[in-house]
């Protein structure tokens, strides 16, 4: 049962929050009482990959603090303009695993569906900052082709809604798609990879919970949080709504220099997530995408941080440290405590 009253406390709908997102660097600096001298470089860095940040997320950023770990995830800076060897525009070579538009089939038994090319927030470290969404925008015919592809491969047991952010799509479309997928007998699970419960928690409303649970597919939501300060009251409430309707919630993070490359910050994140009803799943090494090199943490330091986490936390609160290597049959696990 999904109580309809859970939507009543919302003042603005999630769609309104999406469209009210701040995209003007000058406005962001002003809202957060930051130095206006950063404006021209922020404008320059946002030409390639625009600034985009919804207000519920801005509310959690400390005004006047240029090193705030949430601010650093979204503010365009001059460091993005640096060309660093080893960092490219398609680090995962996903363009080679696109059997039909909108489908990424790289790993055994699982396919990614690019449900929505857009994101609610633009994370500066994102490996999709150069992704060709134009080629992956779906019309009805493309959806039929994607469904046909999945139906034709009995080895696929799990569909992962991805993007961009799949929850930027509207619930009518998501319900239609989910119903079509549930009719494919060899599918067992539906996984949704989304940052929206963290960025605009009101997205988890009764309409969303409805299509996620009104299906024979076992639903699973993987949120994306990098720092404990992202988990505020409304985010906790959104996670509770998922948990209360029987949806398991996991978290993935990216290890980011200056943001969470510190055992205490990650320990705090794991504890905060668990209190909110989320299990840590992955801690990713940064994908080597050009424009994000300044967020990189080298492998030795990553392993050291991970070892400290293993020593301090119960095993179920230690995320798996992984790296995405082009051509590998799955994510590559680092730091097994052998
Ligand atoms: C991460 C990922 C998956 C899912 O991998 P899990 O290890 O099952 O979480 C599937 N396909 C692609 C392309 C991915 O990057
Ligand atoms: S895909 Fe995820 S990490 Fe990348 S910009 Fe969108 S929400 Fe951020």
CA-closest residue to ligand 1 atom 8:
110
Q: Which of 102, 113, 107 is nearest to 217 (CA)?
A: 113
Instruction: With a cut of 50, say whether residue 338 has pLDDT above it.
Output: no
For the CA of 163, the nearest atom of ligand 2: 1
Q: Which of 255, 277, 264, 274 is nearest to 317 (CA)?
A: 274
Q: Which domains does the chain have, with CATH numbers?
A: 21-81 (no CATH), 94-333 (3.20.20.70)
- Would you give the DSSP letter of residue 22? B
For the CA of 331, the nearest atom of ligand 1: 7
The whole-number pLDDT of residue 181 equals 98
In angstroms, the Cα distances linking 257 to 61, 157, 229, 286 are: 18, 36, 16, 10
Q: How many angstroms is it from 191 CA to the middle of ligand 1?
A: 10
The whole-number pLDDT of residue 215 equals 92
Instruction: With a cut of 70, say whether residue 7 has pLDDT above it.
Output: no
The pLDDT-based confidence of 122 (bands split at 50, 70, 90) is: very high
CA-closest residue to ligand 2 atom 3:
126
Quote the pTM value. 0.94
**Residues 61-116 pLDDT 10s:** 999 999 999 999 999 999 999 999 999 887 776 666 788 989 999 999 999 999 99
**Residues 260-285 pLDDT 10s:** 999 999 999 999 999 999 999 999 99
The whole-number pLDDT of residue 138 equals 74
Q: What stretch of H or E contains 266?
A: helix 263-276
* Neighbour tally for 135: CB within 10 Å: 12
In angstroms, the Cα distances linking 206 to 5, 60, 64, 201, 244 are: 9, 25, 37, 12, 12
The pLDDT-based confidence of 5 (bands split at 50, 70, 90) is: low
> What is the token pair recorded at 169?
């799509």
Q: How many angstroms is it from 35 CA to the middle of ligand 1?
A: 40
Helix axes 171-182, 140-151, angle to 10 degrees: 30
Min mean pLDDT across 6-10, 77-81, 126-130, 242-246 is at: 6-10
Q: How many angstroms is it from 209 CA to the middle of ligand 2?
A: 22
**Residues 184-214 pLDDT 10s:** 999 999 999 999 999 999 999 999 999 999 9
Ligand nearest, relative to CA of residue 167: 2
Return the higher-pLDDT residue of 127 and 22. 22
The whole-number pLDDT of residue 326 equals 81
Mean residue pLDDT of the chain comes to: 93
CA-closest residue to ligand 2 atom 1:
164
């Amino acid at each position: 049962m999904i109580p309809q009253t859970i939507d009543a406390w919302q003042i603005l709908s999630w769609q309104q929050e999406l469209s009210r997102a701040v995209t003007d660097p000058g406005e962001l600096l002003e809202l957060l009482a930051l130095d206006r001298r950063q404006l021209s470089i922020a404008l320059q860095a946002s030409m390639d990959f625009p600034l985009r940040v919804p207000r519920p997320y801005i509310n959690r950023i400390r005004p006047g603090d240029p090193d705030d770990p949430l601010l650093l995830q979204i503010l365009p800076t001059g460091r993005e303009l640096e060309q660093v060897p080893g960092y490219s525009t398609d680090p995962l070579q996903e363009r080679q695993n696109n059997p039909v538009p909108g489908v990424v089939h790289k790993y055994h038994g699982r396919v990614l569906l690019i449900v929505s090319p857009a994101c609610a927030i633009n994370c500066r470290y994102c490996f999709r900052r150069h992704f060709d969404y134009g080629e992956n925008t779906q019309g009805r015919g493309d959806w039929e082709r994607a469904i046909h592809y999945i139906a034709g491969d009995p080895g696929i047991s799990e569909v992962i809604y991805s993007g961009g952010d799949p929850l930027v799509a509207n619930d009518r479309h998501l319900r239609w798609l989910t119903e079509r997928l549930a009719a494919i007998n060899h599918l067992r699970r539906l996984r949704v990879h989304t940052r929206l419960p963290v960025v605009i928690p009101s997205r988890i409303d009764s309409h969303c919970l409805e299509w996620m649970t009104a299906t024979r597919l076992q639903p699973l939501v993987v949120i994306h949080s990098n720092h404990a300060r992202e988990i505020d009251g409304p985010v906790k409430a959104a996670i509770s709504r998922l948990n209360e309707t029987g949806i398991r919630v996991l978290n993935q993070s990216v290890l980011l220099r200056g943001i969470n490359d510190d055992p205490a910050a990650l320990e705090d994140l794991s504890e905060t997530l668990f209190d909110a009803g989320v299990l840590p799943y992955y801690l990713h090494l940064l994908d080597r995408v050009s424009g994000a090199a300044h967020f990189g943490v080298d492998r030795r330091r990553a392993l050291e941080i991970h070892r400290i986490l293993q020593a301090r936390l119960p095993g179920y609160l230690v995320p798996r440290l992984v790296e995405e290597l082009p051509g590998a049959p799955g994510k590559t696990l680092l730091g097994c405590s052998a």
